[in-house]
Chains A and B, each alone.
Chain A
Amino acid sequence: KNQVEQSPQSLIILEGKNCTLQCNYTVSPFSNLRWYKQDTGRGPVSLTIMTFSENTKSNGRYTATLDADTKQSSLHITASQLSDSASYICVVRPIGQNFVFGPGTRLSVLP
C-alpha cells in the first residue's frame, strides 16, 4: 500500500533557528516527490519537486533532499521566519497513479 509518513507531527522553534522535517514513503513505482506549504486557512502551495535522479533542490531558504534508495526525504528550513509557521506536507506521486499525501508537520516559529 502506498503510504507517506512525516515526522515530527509538530515542531516549535525560535525565529532565526534552522529546522529539518522528515518524510518517509513506501510509494512504488516512484515518480516524484513534492513538498507543499499550507498556511492556516489556505490551500497547499508547492515548494519543491524532485525526481528520482535528484538528491537536493533549493527554493530560497528551503532545501529538500531525496534518498530514493532509503525512500526518505527531508526539508531543511534555514534562518526561520515567523511567516514560516505553517503545515508542511510531503507528497509522493507513483507512476500512473494519484498523488499520495502525507499528514503534514505543523511548524510554529516563535519570536
Chain B
Amino acid sequence: DTAVSQTPKYLVTQMGNDKSIKCEQNLGHDTMYWYKQDSKKFLKIMFSYNNKELIINETVPNRFSPKSPDKAHLNLHINSLELGDSAVYFCASSLTGEGDYGYTFGSGTRLTVV
C-alpha cells in the first residue's frame, strides 16, 4: 500500500530515556515533516526535510533531532525525555515545487513519558 507509515504506534517510556520514532513514505514525495499534536489537539510543525536538507526548524528543544537516511525516511530521535514530551507525533510528506500540494499524514505515534 502507498502510504506514510510510522512505528511504533504507541510508546511508553520513563523520563530521561532516549527513544526514536521511525517514518517511511513510498509516495515519491520529496519533503517530509514531523508534527506534534498536543492535548488541545493543535498540530504544530517541528521539522521538515527536503532532499536531506533541514529547511524548517521551529523552536523545539535540541533534545529532538530528525535523521533522514534517504528521501523516503525521516526518523525522530528524542534524548532525555521529559513529561512534557508526552503527545501524539505525526509524520507527513508532500511534494513541493510548482503548485501546491497537501500533506499525507501517517497514523501517529502516541508517546507517553512516565
Contacts and interface: CB of A to CB of B under 8 A. Distances in A.
A83 interface: no
Given A49-B102, A103-B42, 17 more contacts: A31-B100, A41-B107, A41-B108, A43-B4, A43-B90, A43-B92, A43-B105, A43-B106, A43-B107, A43-B108, A44-B43, A45-B105, A98-B48, A99-B45, A101-B44, A104-B41, A106-B41
Interface residues of A, number: 19
Contacts of B56: 98
Interface in A48-82: 49
Contacts of B102: 34, 46, 49
Contacts, number: 39
Interface string B74-114: 00000000000000001010000000101101111000000
Say which size band chain B's interface belongs to.
10 to 19
A99 B31 CA distance: 14
A42 interface: yes
Contacts of B103: 44, 46, 99
Contacts of A41: 107-108
Interface in B19-63: 40-45, 48, 56
B43 A89 contact: yes
A31 B102 CA distance: 12
A87 interface: yes
Given A41-B108, A43-B108, A101 B42 contact: yes
Contact of B107 (A31, A34, A42, A93): A42
A42 B107 CA distance: 4
A93 B4 contact: no
Closest 8 CB pairs of A and B: A43-B105, A101-B43, A46-B102, A104-B41, A44-B105, A43-B106, A43-B107, A42-B107
